[in-house]
Structure 1
Amino acid sequence: MAHQKREASSTDEDWASKRPKSADPATAHRESGASQEPDGEMRVTSHKESEAQVDTCVPNGNATVDSKVSGEQATVLTGVEADAAEDKGCRHTMEDAWVVLPNASAETPESLRCAHFAIYDGHGGRLAAEYAQKHLHPNVVAAGLPRELMDVKAAKKAIIEGFRRTDESLLQESTKGNWQDGATAVCVWILGQIVVVANAGDAKAVLARSTSTDGEGVVDKTKSQLKAIVLTREHKAIFPQERSRIQKAGGSIGSNGRLQGRIEVSRAFGDRQFKKVGLIATPDVHSFELSKKDHFIILGCDGLWGVFGPSDAVEFVQKQLKETSSASVAVRRLVKEAVRERRCKDNCTAVLIVFKH
């Protein structure tokens, strides 16, 4: 394929958009979408950290360090490399926004490692997506995200409250500005060795986990079989549990399976005209502890998952990582494959989080 030839002859600097020097490190980062180049190639925007191979969540920048994450017991942190890529597809505008924050506690450094990654998939515009991109993580931190000793229950409570505060303030802003748009969300926080995943809507997170171990339960790196584990639950108006909740709130599901016959998802930020008939922004939140079996997580908007199945995406990314050992290149190629080869017609955005054990 033509774009593979371009990859082979280009450097990362030719493809990756650098973070603006004026960007606030405490807020999310988003670049413009793909553009058609004179030679017919498609340029996919991505975000590349200056220290891509190290986990910048820890003060000394080492990929793995000793850190006290519970009581007096020291734990070696798993290193993290992450990047994002986006393409507007056949749409006239890009309505997605994303976050790549390997050091999400830069403003208030504490003893607990914190990293944050997210995709906000806008519909009807991108104001809601950009608002959530800027405000969700600070609201989650303000709601009590643990920064000293890991407390899963407290973390989940803070995330749910952060979603509530963000949607509440967004609705106030949208009323003032007469916004009508909304945004679904899929978010990951890495706190010490605990991964917490939250989603509202139809964006997904998929974990690639090794299924091969030796006799003592240690991951066998000579075997490459990875299992795709979907970490999120889709929220669509047509699903029985969501339909029941919507009907109890006074809303209805049209013959096309949409809320009030208009919107497919049943949970999202914004969309103020649907909030009184069952649309909510409350996320599903799940957590797990990182182990050596966990290789990477793919976050994707519904455009990506419309042309990639979970196992298909994991297999594709695994192949790219074997070839390049680069999260930046792998995620860029994933989005290019989705749009250029598989003809994704929607906005397409992906975040790839690779664990360095």
Structure 2
Amino acid sequence: MEKESALTQMEKPNHKHAADPFSGEDLVPPMKKAKKSEETGCDTSEGIAKDPKLPSAAEDEKQEIPGGGEAVANTGAKEDNSSCIGEEKKEFLIEADVAEDRGGRHTMEDVWVVLPDASLDFPGKLRCAHFAIYDGHGGRLAAEFSKKHLHLNVHAAGLPRELMDVKVAKKAILEGFRKTDELLLQESVSGGWQDGATAVCVWIIDQKVFVANIGDAKAVLARSSTTTNELGNHAEACNPLKAILLTREHKAIYPQERSRIQKSGGVISSNGRLQGRLEVSRAFGDRQFKKFGVTATPDIHAFELTERENFMILGCDGLWEVFGTSDAVGFVQKLLKEGLPVSTISRRLVKEAVKGRGCKDNCTAIVIVFKHGG
């Protein structure tokens, strides 16, 4: 998107989106299938299970995190993080792919990253995978900048690569978001652009999955009620999978977001938007709204990969406007049972959203499948 058009689109009340395909290719070398993680450092999941917002395997009743709740950054400060203990661990292969469609928009403002194995650029004993969707509004520049810099900034901030430490990982993700937004704001001042971008990001470090989000893009986990040993291959399981929402929406109308904005002098208009214009309350960029409380501080959640985790779906808000979480999980599960490749499944999901269900927004979806090995 040219710099000139980044400002004009802010005139529309809708804070979003839309269109030339843009991948994560210039971030690291072309993706390859993830290798099995090496038997190295690990951590116990006691600290994670104590956090009521996290979808631990023992708490299936917490299937969704309410979107209108009191969203706050989870820094991991309460976690009792211990180092590796000798335990036999299952290995997982990761297969992932992405699809996008500009929907009813004239341009595409979504940007994505798909890296099933980023270990080559970031050496270490722990497997590292990264997936993200950046949903631009008012232009595409902030989304492109975030895509190019966030992953690098998170690693520079100390993402664990030798021994798993949940607190250290969460701290690195928080710092990576902060640094990226700081650099983005500097760039936007010199470039004279004012657009912004929401984000949903996933890092898979060894057996631990970290999900970070700002704005209204979402991540959903598909979890089985029993282990794959009992069901057989996950793609052939007959039982419906549980859809667990891993992210919270950050919108100006939600209580805690509203409180922060009002304390900063911002006004929530009758249409539910900050200063009558911006619907989301957390985003990269949006330089003109930062003084009114818009922040790039993410919610961060983490969970351990077990044989019950089947796949994840990351999607911009365009996808979730026409798909419910359970609906999307059921759609993907059916295609997996048919033996279709992940690339086809992601394309079918987006096609159904746009062509079948009339999504008028940009639509991007990443499907991440966990292959349970020995």
Name the structure 2 match of 1:292. Answer: 307
Q: Alignment length, in residue pairs?
A: 306
2:101 is the counterpart of 1:87: yes
2:143 is the counterpart of 1:171: no
Which sections of structure 2, spanning at least 5 residues, go unmatched?
1-20, 43-83
Looking at structure 1, the residues matched to 157 and 363 of structure 2 have their Cα atoms a distance apart, in angstroms, of 31
2:247 is the counterpart of 1:275: no
Post-superposition Cα deviations, 1:250-279, rounded to whole Å, max 9, x if no partner, equal: 111001100111100000000000000010
| Residue identity matched to 2:371 | K
Name the structure 2 match of 1:69. Answer: 41
Q: Secondary structure at the match of 1:115?
A: strand
1:258 corresponds to which of 273, 296, 320: 273
Q: Secondary structure at the match of 1:119?
A: strand
Q: CA 1:232–1:164 in structure 2 vs 1: closer, same or farther (change >3 Å)?
A: same
Post-superposition Cα deviations, 1:329-355, rounded to whole Å, max 9, x if no partner, equal: 101100000000101000000001000
1:196 corresponds to which of 179, 197, 210: 210
| Residue identity matched to 1:285 | I
Greater shift in the superposed pair: 76-85 or 274-283: 76-85
2:345 is the counterpart of 1:327: no
2:364 corresponds to which of 335, 349, 352: 349
* 8 Å Cα contact 2:126-2:205 kept in structure 1: yes
Name the structure 2 match of 1:11. Answer: none
Percent identity, aligned pairs only? 67
Greater shift in the superposed pair: 242-251 or 318-327: 318-327
| Residue identity matched to 2:176 | G
Q: Secondary structure at the match of 1:129?
A: helix
1:21-36 superposed matches below 5 A? 23-24=25-26, 26=28
| Residue identity matched to 1:351 | I
Name the structure 1 match of 2:330. Answer: 315
Q: CA 1:18–1:240 in structure 2 vs 1: closer, same or farther (change >3 Å)?
A: closer
Name the structure 1 match of 2:351. Answer: 336
2:138 is the counterpart of 1:156: no
Task: Give the Å deviation of 1:213.
Answer: 5.3
Task: Give the Å deviation of 1:224.
Answer: 2.2
Looking at structure 2, the residues matched to 65 and 237 of structure 1 have their Cα atoms a distance apart, in angstroms, of 41
* 8 Å Cα contact 1:139-1:166 kept in structure 2: yes
Greater relative contact order (CA < 8 Å, ≥ 6 in sequence): 2
Name the structure 2 match of 1:130. Answer: 144
2:119 is the counterpart of 1:108: no
Task: Give the Å deviation of 1:140.
Answer: 0.3
Task: Give the Å deviation of 1:76.
Answer: 3.8
C-alpha RMSD over aligned residues: 2.0
* 8 Å Cα contact 1:81-1:353 kept in structure 2: yes
2:231 is the counterpart of 1:220: yes
Name the structure 1 match of 2:5. Answer: none
Looking at structure 2, the residues matched to 237 and 25 of structure 1 have their Cα atoms a distance apart, in angstroms, of 32
* 8 Å Cα contact 1:219-1:292 kept in structure 2: no
Name the structure 2 match of 1:187. Answer: 201
Q: CA 1:125–1:250 in structure 2 vs 1: closer, same or farther (change >3 Å)?
A: same
Looking at structure 2, the residues matched to 18 and 304 of structure 1 have their Cα atoms a distance apart, in angstroms, of 18
Looking at structure 2, the residues matched to 163 and 240 of structure 1 have their Cα atoms a distance apart, in angstroms, of 23
